[in-house]
Chain A
């Protein structure tokens, strides 16, 4: 006796349908099924979609918030600003996406609608925490029903409002949403998280922290040095009147150059200290 799903598999894929055994082994065909271990495999696969994608970062500083992402340049023929990852949802809220970008852009549209309807009803601009909660609930809705699939993207929402001051929230495909002082997602998230913790951005102003963010993004990209990439950074700080703006282009270029130089110097310093250690060891053994 075969269940409907098995019959479908056999009819569509033939005997091949049963030969390929995946990790989920039958509990991963749709998002409305829980596995015996208590996992929803489709949601985990959605999170995998973001694990190998561009790194995104956010930091709360003394006087504002920073957002940043690295973008691999897909083709030389592409117009330079057209692959956008960082968007302004309202004047004082910004969002950055990673993972499946079309899914992310759909969420940004949803965020803009939520903010507009909140402002229309209550007369005040939506706060970061409320928007993050609503987007998280919206993403979670896609993990309950059979006819939908989860959004395969991680998003960071940076906001400034009268109630909470500067806030940062990271939302993942399962709909989990937490507030952070510094967060990262994507391929280089481990490196980025360590660096952000070491940095202690809470005591830096946005201007100082922006340079560090460029440095961290370059560091995350070190494994793929051959591939060309560019950065997209934005901030909410007193220089922009606490509104969400992209970093001015010349400022960004200058910071990237400085960041690259600093990284090279640090790399050289690493190599030199290694050499010195080795020399010292040699010297120990050549005393007569």
Chain B
């Protein structure tokens, strides 16, 4: 089904061909797109420590103003074998910070000849965001596993504070899921519970936030390894275009007692 036209139909004069772009079935009016907006990971990012590891999740929408530059982007950046970071804010800034962090942690790993601590990666990200805060627009979540402290998550928001948490959310979509997370998070979940919890909360955020959408990317870090997966749009619990259908993958005791979420039937 085609979405209704929100922009005026481009002119069909031959001299105005440059103003039209054919993209699949759609005609895009190049002049109506605001190219001056910086490319942002508008985002919903989330990380949760469960019993045995830490799971990271993110949506996949990268926007520049009203244009979606990439609808399947990967906001989970590798830093080291067991350290990853989630990016939100201006894409250029966060990509550069992650690249520099990777460089320094690589040096630290070879100097120590051990798995580098997750705290060091977070500290390096913090030093960039704090010292250059007037130039940058970056908020990141650094998570991973190390042999001394086990699974850890560190949030570094815009100003450059460094906070260790067991559940961290970030990006513009995190505001829409904070109530759900506060209600349904519990410490020491199993991997399956954690995965279901994250899929549900990220899709709630994607449902309401215009800068978040696409697919859900998940990454699981444990002592034994790292595994990735993605939840494609047709498997999302809340289908973004389709109001009449929704399914609750994740249930909790609170929901059964009638306090909980009823997302269906609209």
Task: Using CB atoms and an 8 Å cutoff, list the residues of chain A in contact with chain B.
Answer: 121-124, 127, 129-130, 133, 162-163
Give B122's nearest chain A residue, CB to CB: A123
A127 to B111, alpha carbons, bound, how many Å? 10
Contact A122 B148 (CB under 8 A): no
Contact B111 A121 (CB under 8 A): no
25 interchain pairs (CB within 8 A)? A121-B104, A121-B123, A121-B124, A121-B127, A122-B104, A122-B108, A122-B116, A122-B117, A122-B120, A122-B123, A122-B124, A123-B120, A123-B122, A123-B123, A124-B117, A124-B119, A124-B120, A127-B112, A129-B112, A129-B113, A130-B112, A133-B111, A162-B148, A163-B112, A163-B114
A133 to B113, alpha carbons, bound, how many Å? 12
CB distance from A218 to the nearest CB of B (A): 39
Other-chain residue from B112, B114, B119 in contact with A123 (beta carbon distance below 8 A)? B119
Residues of B within 8 A of A123 (CB): 117, 119-120, 122-123
CB-contacts of B117-143 with A (<8 A)? 117, 119-120, 122-124, 127
A127 to B104, alpha carbons, bound, how many Å? 17
Residues of B within 8 A of A130 (CB): 111-112
Residues of A within 8 A of B148 (CB): 162-163
CB distance from B83 to the nearest CB of A (A): 13
A255 to B21, alpha carbons, bound, how many Å? 89
Q: Which 5 A-B pairs have the closest CB atoms?
A: A123-B123, A122-B120, A163-B114, A123-B119, A123-B120
CB distance from A157 to the nearest CB of B (A): 16
Residues of B within 8 A of A127 (CB): 112
- The DSSP consensus for interface residues of chain B is helix
Give the number of residue pairs across the A-B interface with Cβ within 8 Å. 29
Residues of A within 8 A of B123 (CB): 121-123
Interface size on B, residues (CB 8 A): 15
Task: Using CB atoms and an 8 Å cutoff, list the residues of chain B in contact with chain A.
Answer: 104, 108, 111-114, 116-117, 119-120, 122-124, 127, 148
Residues of B within 8 A of A124 (CB): 117, 119-120
A129 to B110, alpha carbons, bound, how many Å? 12
Residues of B within 8 A of A121 (CB): 104, 123-124, 127
CB distance from B108 to the nearest CB of A (A): 6
Residues of A within 8 A of B120 (CB): 122-124
Residues of B within 8 A of A129 (CB): 112-113
Residues of B within 8 A of A133 (CB): 111
A244 to B234, alpha carbons, bound, how many Å? 61
A163 to B120, alpha carbons, bound, how many Å? 14
Query: Which of B116, B122, B123, B124 has the largest number of chain A CB atoms within 10 A?
Result: B123
A123 to B120, alpha carbons, bound, how many Å? 5
Give B162's nearest chain A residue, CB to CB: A123
Residues of B within 8 A of A162 (CB): 148
Give B120's nearest chain A residue, CB to CB: A122
Residues of A within 8 A of B108 (CB): 122
A133 to B110, alpha carbons, bound, how many Å? 12
A162 to B146, alpha carbons, bound, how many Å? 12
Residues of B within 8 A of A163 (CB): 112, 114, 148
A141 to B178, alpha carbons, bound, how many Å? 55
A127 to B109, alpha carbons, bound, how many Å? 12
Residues of A within 8 A of B117 (CB): 122-124
CB distance from B209 to the nearest CB of A (A): 33
Q: A121-B127, A122-B120 are in contact. List 8 more A-B contacts (CB 8 A).
A: A121-B104, A121-B124, A122-B123, A123-B119, A123-B120, A124-B119, A133-B111, A163-B112
Query: Which of A123, A127, A163 has the largest number of chain B CB atoms within 10 A?
Result: A123
A166 to B239, alpha carbons, bound, how many Å? 57
Give A162's nearest chain B residue, CB to CB: B148
Residues of A within 8 A of B114 (CB): 163
A35 to B119, alpha carbons, bound, how many Å? 49
Residues of A within 8 A of B113 (CB): 129
A130 to B107, alpha carbons, bound, how many Å? 12
Residues of B within 8 A of A122 (CB): 104, 108, 116-117, 120, 123-124
CB distance from B9 to the nearest CB of A (A): 57
CB distance from A71 to the nearest CB of B (A): 34
A118 to B64, alpha carbons, bound, how many Å? 39
A130 to B120, alpha carbons, bound, how many Å? 15
Residues of A within 8 A of B116 (CB): 122
A123 to B104, alpha carbons, bound, how many Å? 12
Residues of A within 8 A of B124 (CB): 121-122
Give B113's nearest chain A residue, CB to CB: A129
